[in-house]
Amino acid sequence: MLKDSYIATRSNRHMQLSDTRIARTAQRGFTIVELMVVVAIIGILVALAVPSFIGLIASASVSKAVNGFISDSRYARGEAMRRGKSVTICRSNNPTAAIPVCGAGDGLAVLGWTSGWIVFLDENGNGAFNSGNNDFVLRVQETLTGIGDFYAVGAAPLTSAVATGNNIVYDGTGRAIGQQGRWLVHPAGSLIADATYARTLCMNSVGRVRLITGEAAC
């Protein structure tokens, strides 16, 4: 009997100790100080990540714009040679209109190529879209997003906007004689003035376009 009583007592004590440990474990959690430390760490990580994320978006937007321009200029040149007729790529303030109009004027003042552009068969090679002259659209680039500006500039200074460079006319041989040009592209937002994200597009005397990183002379 004494032995059974001893065993029962030890068992009860063991159960009480186990219950106490479980209760202590269940009650354990984060303190206010620990939560504040975690929040502070998250804040630091976010502060470090946001600038890189913004820069990544800016680079992607600029790359999309310049790659689209280069691709469409090459397409215009190729179509001109294939058809044996003039093909023009020009910026337009309303490129999706039924009868689009090529833009004119100082590109920086009127948003330049950020508003989009069209590639069209240019029957008389005058660089303007004339539906009554059997001109018709071959490609359309709608308004660009994530771009601060995309405009034509002169030879010097590097960022001086000019009222030329609103179109490129390729003749039936695929050449754009006498239409050398240079354009600058900048991202939108706080990075618009950061030359690191800027790109320069240079067109030589026969109409080939190449890309340069930064604001550069051709």
Task: Evaluate the omega torsion of the peptide bond into residue 100 and state whether it is cis, within 30 degrees of 0.
Answer: no
The string of pLDDT tens digits covering residues 169-190 is 999 999 987 677 899 999 988 7
Let me know: does 164 contact 152? Beta carbons within 8 Å.
yes
pLDDT (mean) for 119-136: 92
pLDDT at 2: 41
Distances (CA, A) of 21 to 9, 26, 177: 19, 9, 88
Q: What is the DSSP string of 28-80?
A: ----HHHHHHHHHHHHHHHHHHHHHHHHHHHHHHHHHHHHHHHHHHHHHHHHH
Domain segments of the chain: what residues?
Answer: 32-213
* CATH superfamily, domain at 32-213: minor pseudopilin epsh domain (3.55.40.10)
Lowest mean pLDDT among 1-10, 28-37, 148-157, 158-167: 1-10
Q: Would you say 185 and 215 are in contact if contact means Cβ atoms under 8 Å apart?
A: no
Entry pTM? 0.74
Q: Of 18-27, 106-115, 147-156, which one has max mean pLDDT?
A: 147-156
* 167-170 sheet: strands from edge to edge: 136-141, 117-121, 87-91, 167-170
